[in-house]
Amino acid sequence: MRSGWQKIPHFLKSAKNPITKVSVLIAARNEEEKIHLTIEDLLAQDYPKNLLEIIIVDDHSTDKTSEIIRSYANRGVKLIKLNEKEPLNSYKKKAITEAIKLSAGELIVATDADCRMKQNWLNTIVNMYETKNYNLISSPVVYFEEKSFFERLQTLEFLCLIGLGAAGIGNKMPSTCNGANLAYKKSVFIELGGFKGIDDLASGDDELFLHKVAFAHPGTIGFCKSPDAIVYTHGKPNLKEFIQQRKRWASKSVKYKDKKLIGVAVAVWLFNISLLINFILAFFYPEFLKLVAIQFIIKLASELFFLDLLVDFAKRKSLAYNVFILTFLHVIYLIFIGFAGNSGKYNWKGRMVN
């Protein structure tokens, strides 16, 4: 994974003026608290106004989300309201699909309604697109403004997930990405039938679509390794919301088709299972303590070896000190999510979905 990350060069934006028509899409549900900040960041982008389209889809919000979006109509922000009467499992995919149908952009750039970005975020991503002509570009997402130790642990763990996604792209084996910072050609979305075949899951508008592009067009996926391309968002404030989020993310794994990817995921999960079993056995057979210590050291050293690069990229070196606690807690978390994410329902945005 370290090698995969290092294979991706840091992207340096050229002075070339952009020529690509871009549609920035957001699916929003009950986001009245922060969506105005995201909209202001988008409107402040250093990008030609005649080449920028902002479309926000209100996914049956029960608060003032629509009113806030509508207040920006005179500044070019377009609002679409979903009005499905029958319940769906994939509201976000439906929202994105409807937005793309009405979009005028050559390049679709998806983000979330609670995200923040720097002024040259869009220009950086589009510059990479115009330079490399990728079909899909994954870009970094980083948690910020932590209010607790629990949120700092999430920031470190999430950095690892973003790094793993980038490393997979660097190793020519794309595995994961994040829908809060994802760009792709509209023509490719249409060519592949959009989310057809993966539209029965609430999640998967990002990495399952990544898998479709990787299968149909190998070698056409890039990662924008630039601090200017980072989108910032927040971790979950409590354990309950965190578990619900991760159950939703883990539910996508049932749709994985790449046997190598499945093999790696299962191997990591089994390693953590064995670590826990050996730890329990050590209470009855002390000689198992040596095995547990060896496994734990391997896990800790491996993660430090990889995370060192990521905290440096995000300019959050102080987070690395938390890896000792996170490595221990991660064993329990990963085992639980492996079970919970592939069975039962979970709550997402106030709705219970499969």
- Could you state, in order of their start, the residue ranges of all structural domains in the chain? 2-147+163-237, 259-353
Going residue by residue through the chain (354 aa), what tens digit of pLDDT does each one get?
999 999 999 999 998 999 999 999 999 999 999 999 999 999 999 999 999 999 999 998 999 999 999 999 999 999 999 987 666 667 889 999 999 999 999 999 999 999 999 999 999 999 999 999 999 999 999 999 999 999 999 999 999 999 999 999 999 999 999 999 999 999 999 999 999 988 777 677 899 999 999 999 999 999 999 999 999 999 999 999 999 888 888 877 766 777 888 888 889 999 999 999 999 999 999 999 999 999 999 999 999 999 999 999 999 999 999 999 999 999 999 999 888 766 656 666 666 665
| Topology (CATH) of 2-147+163-237 | Spore Coat Polysaccharide Biosynthesis Protein SpsA; Chain A (3.90.550)
Going 332 to 335 to 339 to 342, the CA torsion angle's sign is positive
**pLDDT of amino acid 91:** 83
Which residues have a Cβ under 8 Å from the Cβ of 147 and sit 6 or more positions away?
237
**pLDDT of amino acid 351:** 64
Q: Which two tokens stand for residue 268?
A: 């990591």
3-state secondary structure the chain: CHHHHHHCCCCCCCCCCCCCCEEEEEEECCCCCCHHHHHHHHHCCCCCHHHEEEEEEECCCCCCHHHHHHCCHHHCEEEEECCCCCCCCCHHHHHHHHHHHHCCCCEEEEEECCCEECCCHHHHHHHHHHHHCCCEEECCEEECCCCCHHHHHHHHHHHHHHHHHHHHHHCCCCCCCCCCEEEEEHHHHHHCCCCCCCCCCCCCCCHHHHHHHHHHCCCCEEECCCHHHCEEECCCCCHHHHHHHHHHHHHHHHHCCCHHHHHHHHHHHHHHHHHHHHHHHCCCCCCHHHHHHHHHHHHHHHHHHHHHHHHHHCCCHHHHHHHHHHHHHHHHHHHHHHHHCCCCCEEECCEEEC
Q: Cα dist. 344→99, 320, 341, 347, 354 in Å?
A: 30, 34, 8, 11, 7
Distance separating alpha carbons of residues 231 and 224, to the nearest angstrom: 12
**pLDDT of amino acid 262:** 84
**pLDDT of amino acid 248:** 81
Going 232 to 237 to 243 to 244, the CA torsion angle's sign is negative
Give the residue carrying structure tokens 């009245």.
Answer: 32
**pLDDT of amino acid 352:** 61
The gap between the terminal CA atoms of the chain, to the nearest Å, is 32
